[in-house]
Chains A and B, each alone.
Chain A
Amino acid sequence: MQKLFPHPYLSATLLLTWVLLMNSIGPGAVLMGGFLGVVIPLLTAPYWPEHAAMKHPLRLVAYIGLVLGDVVVSSIQVAAIILFKPVDQIQSAWICVPIDLPSPEAQALLAGTITMTPGTLTADFAADGKSLLIHSLHAPDPDAVCAEIKSRYEARLKRIFT
């Protein structure tokens, strides 16, 4: 079972994706989706050898809701900065955020969240996965940005994965 489905979440996601793309739940769509859900994880397994332990998957739903809300608010803030702030008053900064997340999957989720939320962008990882290099569009106080990322997103991700 473990050999046939190295990543059960990925298999389920692929099946769901195919059914939604076909926009039907007929036997053809489900069969093809099931086929993709078995074959793609098997073919990509060598590139994803470890198994992500997501202890509380339901909390991920609440997390996605929080991030979506933040995306709207922050898009408006960034739009205001672009429109109304004189170019020489925009204080961009590189920020190093020390992180302590258990798995590469959690680190990737945090990095993606940072890029999608307003005003910040993940630019690089540290070679040991313990820090993220972030570029902030307008950060008069870089430490506050770092603290907000740690308390708002990293703490929640930790609770999902451990």
Chain B
Amino acid sequence: MIPAAWAIFQKDLRAEWRSRELLSAMLLFSFLSVFVFSFALELQRDILIAAASGVLWVSVIFAVILGLNRSMAAEREMGNLDAMLLAPIDRSAIFVGKAAANFLFGLIVGVILLPVISLVYNVNLLDLRMVGLVALGTLGLASVGTLLAAMTVQTRAREMLLPIVMLPAILPILLLVVRASNGVLGLTPEEFWVGIPALLIVLDVIYVVMCFLLFSYVLED
């Protein structure tokens, strides 16, 4: 399974390097979200600081959804998903390869947003703990998102359907990462968030294992 998953991961990176469609759209969308929120919050410093981590995660989540829709649609358009399904490989390899690529794209967007939000919202998100939280949060988003995108891509209303089914599923991740991010910013007392990264790791393991096991079934006819 590993060689096939690695081939799929490399193929996604190579296709993105050539087209630069996915990351540029995700980055542009997330930058716009950050700026729109800053104007909506009327540039009041105390409000901006309190909202910074929420803005970070909402921007990351919507950028990841945008990327997932595009990534799976690209597989569907030319029938490439069928071509992969025709190969004598474990279907879970498709999940691992696609989820790994989606995780990497989400991680890049999240990490790039840290200095951008720090600058626009006048807070300090440039902290290794924040990078760790972005990685843990994005891992859960990418695994759940890859599974759900594989389901919704087979429907006509896929662009609408993915956010509708994905947002409730990732709510636990969102609640935990926002609280932990506020903790890193010093907005939450340490005792209220110090255990959250461990909880996030457990949640990620549950999500990754569940999605890995379920992926073969969602591709069934």
Is this pair of chains taken from one and the same complex? Answer: no
B interface with A by C-beta (< 8 Å): none
